[in-house]
Amino acid sequence: MLSKFFQFEAHGTTMGREIMAGVTTFAAMAYILVVNPLILGNAGMDTQAVIMATGLAAALGCFLMAFMTNYPIALAPGMGTNAYFAFIIVLGMGMTWQAALSLTFWNGIIFLILSITGFRKRLAEAIPAGLQVGIQAGIGFFIALLGLKAAGIVESSPATIITHGDITAPHILLAFAGLFLMCVLSAKKIPGAILLSMVALAILGFFVAGPDGAKLTSAPEGVVDMPSGLGKTFAQLEWLYPFQHPASFKVLFVLLILDLFDSLGTIIGVSRRAKLVDEDGKLPKMDKALTADAMATIGGAVLGTSTTTSFVESAAGIEAGGRTGLTSIVVGTLFLLSLFFHPLIVAVPAIATAPALIFVGLLMGQSLRDIPYDDYTETLTAIFTAIAIPLFFSITHGLAIGMILFLFMRLATGRIKEVNSMTFVIGAIFVAFYAIG
Query: Per-residue pLDDT tens for 17-74?
Result: 999 999 988 887 887 887 888 889 889 999 889 999 999 999 999 999 999 999 999 9
pLDDT of residue 275: 77
Which whole number is the average pLDDT over 379-392?
A: 91
Greater confidence (321 vs 95) lies with 95
pLDDT in tens, 320-343: 888 999 999 999 999 999 998 877
Which whole number is the average pLDDT over 192-210?
A: 84
Q: Is 75 left (phi over 0), alpha (psi -120 to 50) or beta?
A: beta
Residue 75 confidence (pLDDT) above 80: yes
Residue 192 confidence (pLDDT) above 70: no
**Residue 211 φ/ψ, nearest 5 degrees:** -65, -25
pLDDT-above-90 percentage for the chain:
35
In the structure, what pLDDT confidence band is assigned to residue 407 with cuts at 50, 70 and 90? Answer: very high
pLDDT of residue 233: 96
| C-alpha pair distances (Å), 113 with each of 18, 205, 248, 304, 424 | 32, 48, 20, 22, 21
Residue 107 confidence (pLDDT) above 90: yes
Greater confidence (303 vs 434) lies with 303
Greater confidence (176 vs 227) lies with 176
Range ranked top by mean pLDDT from 207-211, 278-282, 292-296: 292-296
Which whole number is the average pLDDT over 229-255?
A: 89
Is residue 280 within 8 A of residue 273, CB to CB? The reply is no
Which whole number is the average pLDDT over 211-240?
A: 84
Residue 400 amino acid letter: A
Task: Calculate the CA 105 to chain-centre distance.
Answer: 19
pLDDT-above-70 percentage for the chain:
97
Q: How far apart are CA 46 and CA 57, in angstroms?
A: 16
pLDDT of residue 334: 95
pLDDT of residue 154: 93
pLDDT in tens, 130-170: 888 888 888 788 878 878 988 899 998 888 889 999 999 99
Handedness of CA 192, 286, 35, 146 (dihedral sign): positive
Residues 6+ apart with CB under 8 A from 324: 6, 7, 8, 11, 13, 18, 70, 71, 72
Is residue 186 within 8 A of residue 359, CB to CB? The reply is yes
Q: Which helix (DSSP H) or strand (DSSP E) does residue 210 occupy?
A: none
The mean of the pLDDT values for the chain is: 86
pLDDT of residue 53: 95
Burial (Cβ within 10 Å: 0-12, 13-18, ≥19) of residue 276? buried
Nearest to 407 by CA among 432, 387, 433, 377: 377
